[in-house]
Every structure is written in C-alpha cells, then in structure tokens.
A and B are shown apart, each in its own frame.
Chain A
Amino acid sequence: MGPPGPDGRFGSFGGRYVPESLVPACEELAAAFEAAWSDAGFHEELDTILRVYGGRPTPVTPCRRLSEQLGVRLLLKREDLAHTGSHKLNNVVGQALLARRMGKRRLVAETGAGQHGVATATAAALFGMDCTVYMGEVDVERQALNVFRMQLLGAEVRTVSSGSRTLKDAVNEAMRDWVATVGHSHYCLGSVMGPHPYPWMVRELQRVVGEEARAQCRELLDGADPDWVVACVGGGSNAAGTFAGFVDTEAYLVGVEAAGGAAMGAGGVPGVLHGMASRLLQDEQGQILEAKSISAGLDYPGIGPEHAHLAELGRARYEQAHDAEVLAAFELLARTEGIIAAFEPAHALAWVVREAGRTVPLGSTVLVTLSGRGDKDVAQARELLG
C-alpha cells in the first residue's frame, strides 16, 4: 500500500472533488504532509507523543477462552488500550502536528460515535488549539457521554440536524465550516476518506497499527504471520492502517462493514461524495442514501477509496455483520475474555464468530483489530440487551 497516483487516485477511486475554494488548502496539506513524512524530525516527535502520551505500542492479546470456543487462534490488536480509547489518536496527533506546521490554530472535525471527536479535542487541548466538532443529532443522543467528554476537553460540539443527522451530515457541515475558515483552520478528517491527500495521509498515520501488529504477531507466532487479518470498516481507517502492515504477507485481509451501511455490498455503486470517488449507497438518480446501524461509527454510506481499490484488485475482501450478531459478539468477548469492545470492532469479531469453521478454517490464526473500547456503547448495549 504505497502512495496514490499523482492525481490522488487508487486505481479509479479517490481524487479531489472539492469546491474550488478548498483546492489550494488541499494542495497545501498534501505538500506539508509529504515534507513532514520524509522528515525524521517529524516522525520522532510524532512517535514520541504516541509513546509517552498515547500509550503506544498497544499490545496484541491472544484470546485463550474464545479461541477454544471458536476453534481458531484469535489475537486482538488492542487499540482500545490507547489513550482516548481508540486508534483515532494516531491520526489526530499527526494532523495536529501538521496543522501547527502550516500555522493553523483551529481544528475542525466530524464525528460519528464520538471517538474521533474526542481524539481531536484531546489533541487540540494538548497543542493549545481551538477545536470545533460536528456531530449528527442522532449520534449526539446515542453518544451523550462522548459529547460531554469533548466539552470537558475544551471543544465546542455543534449538533447537525440536516439530512440523516449522522456521520455523513457531520462531514458535510465540517466541510462547510472549513470552506469559510480555511485561512486559520485545519480540517482534521477522521478516516481514510475525503479529498486527496486525506485517504493516503490518514492511512499512513494509522500504519503504525499494522506495523506494530505484524511485529507482535511474529513474536507470538514464531516468525509467522496470521492467516487472516480482520478489521471493521466505516470509512475504514483502522482497517487501512492494519492492512498496511500485512498487505505484503500471505494473510487474507477482511474488512467488515455494518450490514446497514455496506458500501461494498450490493447496494454500493461507484460515485462521488465528500471529495472522493468511491463506492456509495445511492439511488438511481445519484441521491445518497442513509446508512443504518447500531454503530454510530459505521453509519456511513461510503467507504475510503483505497478499500474500493483493494477490493477491485482482489487483495482484500469486504463482508458484512448484522446488528444482532454484533451485539452477540460484543457480549461474547466480554464474557470470555473480559474485554468490552466498541460496537465497531464487534462487527469484525462478529464476522469471525460466524465464519470460524466455515470461511475461516478451524485451526487458522486470526488477528482482529480491536479498534476501540466499548465504554461509549455500554448505555446503548444495556438498552438493547436489557
């Protein structure tokens, strides 16, 4: 998984479909990222912050009881143990450092489940920047605790009541903000989506997940790689970061979408939204459809362009998990391993639970990226399971 083509494309996906007002800012960001990414000093600062502040490296945990139950050797990459409770911090610390390099003093972000919003608010506090987070009204309700966390961290949370009032509309509103404030604001996009250079930049900033995991798996597996590498996909940042560490191994790569937001499923067709060409849920006229899932973080009608490309190449496959099996997997992991996962990675786990002994042969070694912890979902789980 290298850099995209000169026009920001991964195969036929990606590109930069933004209003003219934003083109210069995207060009500036691409240049700043390229310069920073080849600068040892930038890496040193980023790595140090992620280590001493962010809690990296996160461990890989072998699951003894659940492995026995499923008949596969299950390993979890524990991004839930990173500061702020998910992989999102990897991306935002990198982008906040870039924003500082570009002289921007304000971060704008969208959030679905609130994990990216919390991470952005955290980075803003750490670097002394202003922060505005857009969140759909539906998500504000189901993730009330994360709204308060962001406010506690000094961020302003703006509720988005347009459209489907979820992640898609939060992205629209964040981009509208950015058009008006681009002189002093950086749009801290939370996933491997949006206009070039975001899909590439965010994947590179999340690459640390896959690279750590690969080294850790080799230690645990006597130098071998896992047979299967599985991660959940909304926009797809934890999956992209994970896959980047394993794309040149023999491992099967599997991205698991929410069945109600599966841009790689039958309902997803090529289109252009939020600055990128990718696969989108849309009707015959090109109107974007609303995704529907218990997981606010996966409630997105599109997918990062590189995932669409990896699927086209046949290098990764994209599967779906339904709300009910996600809840079951969420509960199963808690009871067998003492780990309360976020609903998002519970999708990846749900697929493994369903496919162990079917698609995934018994005895296989399976790495699942546990992209975040489930504290934010406990209240919702209580209602759903109650």
Chain B
Amino acid sequence: MTRAALESTLLARRGAGRKLVVPYVTAGVVADWLQVVRALAAAGADAVEIGLPFSDPMMDGPTIQEASLRALERGTTAPAALAALADADVGVPLVAMTYYNIVYRAGHRRFARMLADAGVSGAIVPDLPLEESAPWRAEAEAAGVDGVLLVAPSTPDERARRICAASRGFVYAVGVMGVTGERAALADSARQVARRLRPLSRLPVCVGVGISTPEQAVEVCRDADGVVIGSALVHRLLEGADPTDAAALVVDVRRALDERVESDEPVETGRG
C-alpha cells in the first residue's frame, strides 16, 4: 500500500500551476476495475475517486446507477473493494465516494479506519450535508481521512463560506443543479459556482457533475482549480472499453488542461 495524502498533494500541484483532474470509477463495475484505477493514475489523474456502490444512489443519474447496480450484482462490498485497493499500488491519492448509509451502517470510526487502512485519504458523502456531517468528519480526521464537502449552485454565499471552512482535501463544487451524468454543454452554473467559491476557499475548488469532455474541462477551469469526471468515463466502461481505452479520456483532459494552463495567467485564490 502506498499512501498519498489528498489535501497536501492537491495544494502542491495547484501551487505548481497545474489544473487538477479527478476521475471517478465505481469499484467493482468491471472485473478489472483496479486496472482502471491504475490506468487513470497513469493517464495523469491528480487523485482518483472510487465509488463504493450503494443500492439507492439518489444523487446519481442513469450511468452511475447502472454502474452501481452492476457492481452490486458482481458482489462488490465496501470492505472487499477497500481490501483490494489496499494491495493496489496506485501512486496518487484515493478518495472514496459513497452514500451515508454505508458509512452509518459500518460505524463512523470503523469506516474511517477501513478507508485509512486501504490507503484512501479522502471521502465524499453526497447525502451528508454540513449540519449532519460533524460526527463523521471528526472520525475521518482522526483517522487521517479528508472529509470532502460539497457546495451546490443553490448554496447561498454565507453557507458556502462555512462549508469551505469545514471541508478538507478539496471543495467539491456541484456544477449543475441535477444528478450526475453527461451533458451536451457546460452549464452556466458550473463556472459561476467555481468563481463564487474560489475567494472563499483556501482549498482547491474542483467542479463535478456535468463535466464530460476536455472542452468542458478547459472551460470550467477558467474559474475552477480542477474537475471531477465520472459518468463520461464510467459510460465507456459500461460499453466494454478496456482500462487503457477508458483512461484515454483522462489523457485528453490532462493534455487540454496543461496546454491551456501554460497560456493563462494564474488566478487569485482565497487564503482562509
């Protein structure tokens, strides 16, 4: 097991002028999903988000619903997926994404330890908003796991400020009012939410939900520090792409962002 810290890694990379790419894959969606994780890291991901499947993923659209269902039908459980990750040598920070009942059922402390033991250094729980999240975040922090919080286009500024202050690792900016899934065009709300958050957050602001293409990644990164790409990638896996083919999307996003970053001025960000 190699363990890469999430927050310090992302801060350092942003500090070096790099836009962040965080691809998502559902654990167990295909038999060789660990190969997918490695391929994503090799393709230039700055961290990889691992979805631990839940029976009722209410924040997810059809693609990730299907991936979750397939993973569950293949017998995937959180402990088994995490045990597999513990033996995988990925080389970039890993962030778990799951729904709160999975965390609650395991118990906060036990789940945080399971993540830490697997070398996972961050966790996203999309149905656990700020007010309900304090007990979980405390246990995560004690285990050395960054509790990543989400901000939505509908979040008022004052609330966004509190969420940014409580989040660890990065701030997950939800780019569009809606569930995960590919969108033909970037929503106006994606850049707006990133622009609103950057002065409020000392942490990198990564936009996810509705970012599917290198063009959309480049556009949103005019205001954001990075992107989370899920459904577009999972879609490829569901259609039978091998790990390298699926990860080619991340290669393209990486290249597009690197080219853009070289030509742009750095943007002022918040420091507290």
Which residues in chain B, 81-117, are within 8 Å of chain A measured between CB atoms?
100-106
- Determine whether B177 belongs to the interface, using a CB cutoff of 8 Å to chain A: yes
Which residues in chain A, 15-59, are within 8 Å of chain B measured between CB atoms?
15-25
Q: Of B9-17, B36-44, B57-65, which binds chain A? A: B57-65
Cβ contacts B50-73/A at 8 Å (1 or 0 each): 000011111101000100010010
Closest chain A residue, CB of each to CB of B106: A286
Alpha-carbon gap, A176 to B151, bound state (A): 17
Residues of B within 8 A of A359 (CB): none
Residues of A within 8 A of B153 (CB): 21
Alpha-carbon gap, A285 to B61, bound state (A): 22
- Determine whether A7 belongs to the interface, using a CB cutoff of 8 Å to chain B: yes
Alpha-carbon gap, A195 to B105, bound state (A): 19
- Determine whether A125 belongs to the interface, using a CB cutoff of 8 Å to chain B: no
Min distance, Cβ B94 to any Cβ of chain A, angstroms: 20
Instruction: Assess A286 versus B154: contact at CB under 8 Å? Given A17-B128, A19-B126, A162-B65.
Output: no
Closest chain B residue, CB of each to CB of A290: B55
Q: Which of B58, B105, B152 contacts A20 (CB 8 A)?
A: B152
Q: Which of B57, B59, B177 contacts A183 (CB 8 A)?
A: B177
Min distance, Cβ B10 to any Cβ of chain A, angstroms: 20
Q: Which of A25, A181, A288 contacts B56 (CB 8 A)?
A: A288
- Determine whether A273 belongs to the interface, using a CB cutoff of 8 Å to chain B: yes
Task: Check B154–A24 contact: CB distance below 8 A.
Answer: yes
Alpha-carbon gap, A286 to B150, bound state (A): 23
* Interface residue total, chain B, C-beta cutoff 8 A: 41
Task: Check A271–B104 contact: CB distance below 8 A.
Answer: yes
Task: Check A273–B179 contact: CB distance below 8 A.
Answer: no
Closest chain A residue, CB of each to CB of B104: A272
Instruction: Assess A19 versus B59: contact at CB under 8 Å? Given A272-B101, A287-B72.
Output: yes
Residues of A within 8 A of B240 (CB): none
Alpha-carbon gap, A174 to B159, bound state (A): 26
Alpha-carbon gap, A270 to B106, bound state (A): 12
Residues of B within 8 A of A280 (CB): 101
Q: Which of B54, B159, B163, B174 contacts A286 (CB 8 A)?
A: B54
Min distance, Cβ A321 to any Cβ of chain B, angstroms: 26
Which residues in chain A, 261-281, are within 8 Å of chain B measured between CB atoms?
269-275, 277, 280
Alpha-carbon gap, A267 to B228, bound state (A): 38
- Determine whether A179 belongs to the interface, using a CB cutoff of 8 Å to chain B: yes
Residues of B within 8 A of A172 (CB): 56-58
Alpha-carbon gap, A172 to B69, bound state (A): 14
Q: Which of B55, B65, B79, B132 contacts A17 (CB 8 A)?
A: B132
Task: Check A17–B61 contact: CB distance below 8 A.
Answer: no
Alpha-carbon gap, A175 to B179, bound state (A): 10
- Determine whether B127 belongs to the interface, using a CB cutoff of 8 Å to chain A: yes
Cβ contacts A178-192/B at 8 Å (1 or 0 each): 011111000000000
- Determine whether B272 belongs to the interface, using a CB cutoff of 8 Å to chain A: no
Closest chain B residue, CB of each to CB of A183: B177
Q: Which of A15, A19, A271 contacts B150 (CB 8 A)?
A: A19
Q: Which B positions have Cβ atoms within 8 angstroms of A?
A: 54-59, 61, 65, 69, 72, 77-79, 100-106, 126-132, 149-156, 159, 163, 174, 177-179
Q: Which A positions have Cβ atoms within 8 angstroms of B?
A: 7, 15-25, 162-163, 168-169, 172, 175-176, 179-183, 269-275, 277, 280, 282, 284-288
For the complex of A and B, the 5 pairs showing the least CB-CB separation, nearest first, are A286-B105, A180-B178, A21-B152, A287-B55, A20-B152
